Amino acid sequence: SEREAYEFIVDFLEQEQEQLDKLKFLRAVSMLSGAVHAQADGTMDDFVPKAVLAKKIEAFILEEPLEVLVGPLRQQAMLCIVALRFLLCHFCWPPSLLHCTSPTCQTIQALDDMVQALMMENAGPSMVMLQSFLEIILPWLVESEKVHEQTRALGTISRMLRSICSFPELSHVAEFSMSGKLMGTLGLFCMNSNYEISMGASEALHYLFKVLVLHRITVPPAGPDASQTAWGRFPPQSFQKYLTPEERADVLVVSMGALTSTSRHDAQAASEMLRMILKFSLPEIGKVPEIVTFIYLHINSITEATAQETVKKILHLLARTYTDEVILTLFKIDDQSQRGARKPWEILASFPKGYEVIMEYLLQRLSPQPESRGDGDAGPALRPLQATRAIHELLLEPSRKMEMQAFYSPLFMALLFQISTLLVEGAAEAFQDQQHVTEWVDPISSTVEALKALMRSTGYSDLVSYIQKLRGWELLTSPERHHEGVALLARAMVVKNCWHNRPIFSLVVRMLQELEHENHLTALVFLTELLWSPDMAAIVDEVTLRMLASWFQCKEPAVVKLLLRAVEILAMHGNMVTWNGAEGAGCPLSSPFPLRALQPYVLNCCYSEDSGIVAETFKMLKCLVEQLTWEHSSAFLIQLAFTLGPFLEEESELLRLMAFESYGALLAKVSRRVLVFPLRHQVFNLLILLVLHLEDVNADLAASASSLCAPPALLSLQIARPALCHTATVLRWSKLKVIFAEKDTWTILRALLKKEASKALWFLKQSVTLFRSPQAPIRQAAVWFAGQILQTLSDAEAREVEEAFTALRDMQEDPDPAVSCLAVQTFYVLEAKEKRPVASSTSCFCIRRP
């Protein structure tokens, strides 16, 4: 108790003392000093004269060995001196008294000397020891509400800093981490309304700057006034140049902590200090998660308008520079607090320019393998799914609809590509393993929701509902039917005539110029469906055609089929037929019809090893021929006529039927005016083939071709006979046209040979070619017609067709009995009509002996 302490002190002063008694005496002095201090007008002199106690304590210190500076007795004596000094005065001593010889001045000087001695290590002060002192004094300075206590604390800090300024070297400088916290605290006290506190803080800050300039400057200042100039430019110069990133963060946290103060003056002072720091570009900052967490937890408690704007600006600047760390921290806090507060996201969306920078960076992070920002940055980085979540959060803020317009197209495609990537086997599970992805997050559905939010934020709410009505979102998230969903999404945008169709189309074209694009199939599906829009077809330029041509080299059947579909859609647009390159991107083509650039690639697909591609090509060619005009596409149609020739004898009944459909559609385009060489030559070259295919055995073709032909029918009725009739029309064969329309194959062949006897050798050549037909009825008709022609030839003409006789002889070995029998009969008939001896070596029939 205080009474026992007082009695012990009196007895102790009258007798010899041992070590334990000295310690007990010092504790008693500290206890009694505390009791006196608790009294309103108490003074130590009412109990024991302070001078007597001071002399006794001084004697204890002098009796201690000099080798031991940290002994328990010396430490306890220092605590007693502090306790007694606490009772000596309740005001700040002016500088003029610091050099006086009064007991008070001597006590203060003794304490300062002891503190300096404790900080010494080898040849210079230890910054670790200084930090230990500051960790005790700063809380006392900040938490105390008494002016005299704050003044004494500031004086102590000032004198400690002043004492180390004269040393050229300091030990453990790298371990001193309180510069930022100390600078922030002293800076705030510099703006205190009390003059004594403000001056004390200014003096301490002056010495702190001096320490930083002397021991952290990279280039030694020239001249005696260099340090004065450096700290005269505070706060920006000192904050940026002399503090580490972590210490700068401490300054910001200390300043923002003052913004939450109930004192209006303190909040304004902190706001002004932060405003001065932010007046210049923000340097590298450490402890970003700590700053963001502080803002998240205290933003609602900052009520002063200027202070709120300052904090918002800090968060905005951090988000622009440290987007990964800021957003990951917000996610972590959101997940821990069940996604309650939205204030930080509102702040990030409240700055137009910053919003654009953040969105642009998040857009880059949607890439599956984003590059780290900065050189050698080993900090946390946003993964694609996390970037998607951040974008979704920002899109939920309605304040930035105008700025969102610029990002709609790339963001739309990036989210669509991410859905495609996630649907790849195992991709969704890989995304779920990422850090900061909670269990309730489904990668695919969350990305779709972000895509919906993007569309709603840009004014396409009706489009979202329309796609939902068509069950497009379900298709989009289905691994088996994903590309159907992509196609439906594009078609819906065409139906709704969305304003962004054109920029999205141009963006996809640029993307597909990279042949190694990861999501090229999704991009091609989307591009192809957008072409249904006349506006999109009208802007197809040379760059687009060159891109499509390059993708025709791809070996993926799905890609080639999409390209064929794109060409077909282009041809179906009326404006594309008369396209002259004047519209679109201003890159006119050298040809009047844009598909001419794709012509060789389209026709080359007829020779693909994939039967599906060949079938798709023929299907497209038929539609293409129906859409094109001879005036603008004559070269393409003529080349197509030559290309289709070999496929009219295709062994596959389905492909053969489709080839005949294309050729029939082409013949329907031919008029007398355009039937000139080389098309006239090709029409005659395929004439016998058309006639003989009236015998085409394709009765079973109806079922396999039902998806392509409606209603299914025999090739002879559906294509061959109408094609023959049209051929007769353009050749002005009015009588033959009637025969072509009504008579059988044999009658037609006789009439044709009679009408065009001058072309008998040409007809013979065509017939011999059909000896190799995979269909026995056609081979039989070809053998019969060849025999008819050979019987009409003169001797001179017969000498020119030795190859035909050889081929006819070979047909005697045909696997079909009807064909081989007819070949034998024909051969004997021809020999019987020969006038010269069969054995004559000069006879043209000498090789025809069986």
pLDDT digits (tens, 9 = 90+) for 789-831: 888 887 777 777 888 888 888 899 999 999 999 999 988 888 7
Distance CA 363, CA 371 (A): 12
469 SS3 class: helix
Measuring CA to CA, how many Å separate 195 from each of 113, 184, 202?
27, 19, 10
Identify the helix (H) or strand (E) that includes residue 641: helix 630-644
- Residue in this structure with the two tokens 């001196």, named with its chain if needed: 81
Q: Which residues pair with 125 in a beta bridge?
A: 120
For residue 705, pLDDT beyond 90 = no
Cα–Cα dist 210/515, whole Å? 61
Q: Is the pLDDT of residue 231 over 70?
A: no
Cα separation, 809 vs 826, whole angstroms: 10
User: In whole angstroms, what is the distance from residue 431 CA to residue 422 CA?
Assistant: 8
What stretch of H or E contains 203?
A: helix 195-216
Residues 6 or more apart whose CB falls under 8 angstroms from that of 610 comprise 557, 560
**pLDDT tens, residue by residue, 353-366:** 777 888 888 888 88
pLDDT score for 780: 92
Given a cut of 90, whether residue 497 has pLDDT beyond it is yes
Distance CA 329, CA 291 (A): 10
For residue 753, the one-letter residue type is L
Give the CA-trace dihedral at 583, 587, 593, 599, to 10 degrees: -140
CA atoms within 13 Å, Cβ hemisphere of 791: 17
Given a contact cutoff of 8 angstroms between Cβ atoms, the answer to whether 259 and 271 are in contact is yes
Measured in whole angstroms, the distance separating CA 512 from the mean position of its chain's CA atoms is: 16
Check: CATH 1.25.10 for 461-622? yes
Determine the distance from the C-alpha atom of residue 442 to the mean position of all C-alpha atoms in its chain, rounded to a whole number: 19
Cα–Cα dist 511/507, whole Å: 6
pLDDT score for 670: 84
- Find out whether 256 and 301 touch, Cβ atoms under 8 Å: no
To the nearest 10 degrees (0 to 180), the angle between helices 653-669 and 721-730 is: 30
Task: Give the C-alpha distances (Å, rounded to integers) separating 135 from 157, 177, 420, 833.
Answer: 11, 11, 56, 128
Q: How many CB atoms lie within 10 A of CB 129?
A: 18
Question: What number of other Cβ atoms are within 10 A of residue 382's Cβ?
Answer: 26
CA 450 to CA 404: how far, in whole Å?
13
pLDDT value of position 511: 93
**Residue 701: what pLDDT?**
34
Residues 123-169 have pLDDT tens digits of 678 888 888 888 888 888 888 888 888 888 888 888 888 888 878 78
The answer, yes or no, to whether residue 661 has pLDDT greater than 90, is no
Region(s) of the chain under CATH 1.25.10: 461-622
Residue 713 predicted with pLDDT over 50: no
Query: Residue written as tokens 């998240």?
Result: 296
Render 730-763 in DSSP notation, one character per residue: HTT-HHHHHHHHHS-HHHHHHHHHHHTGGGHHHH
Residue 503 has pLDDT above 60, yes or no: yes
Q: What is the pLDDT of residue 435?
A: 47
Among 83, 63, 60, smallest CA distance to 12 is for: 60
Helices assigned H by DSSP within 579-610: 599-604
Q: What's the CA gap between 323 and 382, in Å, rounded?
A: 8
Residue 727: the pLDDT is 87
* Other C-beta atoms lying within 10 Å of the C-beta of residue 267: 19
Separation between Cα atoms, residue 666 and residue 636, nearest integer Å: 11
User: In terms of Cα–Cα distance, which of 226, 268, 240, 248 is closest to 182?
Assistant: 248
pLDDT given at position 581: 40
Q: Report the amino acid identity of residue 254.
A: V
> Which residue did the predictor score with more confidence, 556 or 841?
556
User: DSSP character for 772?
Assistant: G
pTM: 0.71
Q: How far apart are CA 475 and CA 485, in angstroms?
A: 4
Residue 423 makes CB contacts below 8 A (sequence gap 6+) with 444, 477, 479, 482
Count other Cβ atoms within 10 Å, centred on residue 817.
Answer: 9
pLDDT at 79 over 60: yes
Average pLDDT over residues 531-549: 90
DSSP of 311-363: HHHHHHHHHHHSHHHHHHHHHHHHHHTTS---HHHHHHTS-HHHHHHHHHHHH
* DSSP three-state, residue 816: coil
Encoded amino acid at 658, one letter: M
In whole angstroms, give the CA distance from residue 190 to residue 234: 12
Instruction: Single out the residue of 441, 451, 391, 389 nearest to residue 417, CA to CA.
Output: 451
Concatenated DSSP letters for 117-181? HHHEETTEEBHHHHHHHHHHHHHHHHH---HHHHHHHHHHHHHHHHHHHT-S--BTGGG---HHH
Q: How many residues does the chain have?
A: 850
Residues 216-225: tens digit of each pLDDT: 754 344 444 4
Are 839 and 848 contacting, i.e. CB atoms less than 8 angstroms apart? no
- Rg of the chain over all Cα atoms, to the nearest angstrom: 49
Please tell me which residue, 772 or 264, carries the higher pLDDT value: 772
What distance lies between CA 559 and its chain's CA centroid? 23
Locate 578 and state its tokens. Answer: 């008369």
- Beta-bridged to residue 120, according to DSSP, are 125
Query: What pLDDT sits at residue 379?
Result: 60
Residue 320 in this model has a pLDDT that exceeds 80? yes
**431 has pLDDT over 60:** no
**Neighbouring residues of 115: CB distance < 8 A, sequence distance ≥ 6:** 133, 156, 159, 160, 163
Q: How far apart are CA 576 and CA 584, in angstroms?
A: 12
pLDDT of amino acid 527? 96
Element of type H or E holding 62:
helix 50-63
Task: Say how far apart CA 224 and CA 205 lie, in whole Å.
Answer: 19
Burial class (CB in 10 A: 0-12, 13-18, 19+), 820: middle
Packed helices 323-336 and 384-395: angle between N→C axes, nearest 10 degrees: 80
786/808 Cα distance (integer angstroms): 8
**Whole-number mean pLDDT of the chain?**
79
CA 665 vs CA 577, 713, 741: distances in Å: 17, 16, 18
* Residue 369 CA neighbour count, 13 Å, CB half: 1
Q: Kindly report, residue by residue over 541-586, the tens digit of the pLDDT.
A: 889 999 999 999 888 999 999 999 998 888 887 544 444 443 433 3
571 or 717: which carries more pLDDT confidence?
Answer: 571
Positive or negative: CA dihedral 546, 549, 553, 556 = positive
Please report, in angstroms and rounded to a whole number, the separation of the first and last CA atoms in the chain.
Answer: 145
CB 12: neighbour CB atoms within 10 A? 18
pLDDT for 593-651, tens place per residue?
Answer: 566 788 889 989 998 889 889 999 988 888 888 888 787 778 888 888 898 888 888 88
Asked whether 55 and 103 are in contact (CB, 8 A), the reply is no
